[in-house]
Amino acid sequence: MTEKSELQEEVEELKKQRNAVLLVHNYQIPEVQDLADFMGDSLGLSQRAAETDAEVIVFCGVHFMAQTAKIICPDKTVLMPDPHAGCPMADMITPETLLDFKAQHPGAPVVAYVNTTAEVKAECDLCCTSANSVRVVESLDEDSVIFVPDRFLGLWTASQVQKELILWGGFCPTHAALTPETVREVQAEHPDAAFICHPECRPEVTALADAVLSTGGMGKFATETEAREVIVGTEEGMVYRLQQDNPDKRFYALPGMVCPNMKRTTAEKVLRSLRDMEHEIVVPPEIADRAREPIERMLALG
């Protein structure tokens, strides 16, 4: 085991004093990953938030993830080390634009990717993540389902179910920038490598993949695969995680796969967050109460 740094020891001490837990998304920078009590994808982190006995949750990820934790755990203090870490995709739909869209498709239930604001979730029937979008859509009785905001996750989900998905035009700027040409170039450098990618990628990219997976699913794939090398079609932070967990295999990032918002959180900001109890996530109770229902319906699906 490597020796703990002074900062790591201070964080450990403050966590004990505050009765805090550190939940860290798979895209965080290595120094922050190394501080984690639990790492995971959006689904795993919200399940962890729901289960924890800690009084304080320090959420290292982006705003909608911390907000989801606060909605599930209204009595806990949820902190974000950098409150400006947002998700541009989540800002591509508002409650007003969603209500207009719903009016155009009466009777269709709304599934919202968890990458949405609390105000948007409050207008939805069910939430999903990239780990469970197929199961969530299949759980509905209706044949036509509105799916927001990620068009590419929606297209991938639609390819896996026998339903019509009515899609919004949102996208992740990081994943949507990945082209099949780039994938093929990296595949040419590593001809024996498997290729996995996130469903936020374009259909031309998911078509090339051996498996299309949430970041949690990628963790499982990396451990179970016979392949000794894997090209990872998602944010580069994932590669550090996979390499740590599977030192006998090789993982390759793809050029340009960086989410600037995920990189805003640093180990120093985590320390400051615990020391000064900043920056607290607040969700107005009238919004939180309505947004909780679609999240809890998703969590109840397992």
Q: How far is the CB of 214 from ligand 13P (least distance, A)?
A: 3
Tell me whether residue 108 or residue 132 sits nearer to ligand SF4 (CB atom).
132
Q: 50 is written with which tokens?
A: 């729901």
State the binding partner of 26 from ligand 13P, ligand SF4, none, CB within 5 to 8 A by kind: ligand 13P
From the number of C-beta atoms within 10 Å of its C-beta (0-12, 13-18, 19+), residue 191 rates as exposed
| Of 82, 119, 123, 200, the one binding ligand 13P by CB under 6 A | 200
Q: 85 is written with which tokens?
A: 């870490």
Rounded Cα distance, 193 and 209, in Å: 11
Helix (H) or strand (E) holding 59: strand 56-60
Quick check: 174 binds ligand SF4 (CB under 6 A)?
yes
81 contact partners, CB below 8 Å, separation of at least 6: 58, 60, 265, 266, 269, 270, 272, 273, 279
Q: 185 is written with which tokens?
A: 């170039």
| Of 46, 67, 68, 115, the one binding ligand 13P by CB under 6 A | 115
Give the interface size with ligand 13P as a residue count (CB under 6 A): 11
State the binding partner of 215 from ligand 13P, ligand SF4, none, CB within 5 to 8 A by kind: ligand 13P
Residue 78 contacts residue 280 (beta carbons within 8 Å): yes
Tell me whether residue 30 or residue 284 sits nearer to ligand 13P (CB atom).
30
Residue 198 contacts residue 130 (beta carbons within 8 Å): yes
The DSSP secondary structure of 150-182, one letter per residue, reads: BHHHHHHHHTTSSSEEEE--B--HHHHT--HHH
State the binding partner of 88 from ligand 13P, ligand SF4, none, CB within 5 to 8 A by kind: ligand SF4
Interface segment toward ligand SF4; rule CB under 6 A; list 9-17, 169-177, 271-279, 293-301: 169-177
Interface segment toward ligand SF4; rule CB under 6 A; list 83-91, 135-143, 158-166, 264-272: 83-91
Q: 52 is written with which tokens?
A: 């924890």
Quick check: 259 binds ligand SF4 (CB under 6 A)?
yes
State the binding partner of 261 from ligand 13P, ligand SF4, none, CB within 5 to 8 A by kind: ligand SF4
Quick check: 209 binds ligand 13P (CB under 6 A)?
no
User: Residues interacting with ligand 13P, by CB under 6 A?
Assistant: 26, 41-42, 115, 129-130, 172, 198, 200, 214-215
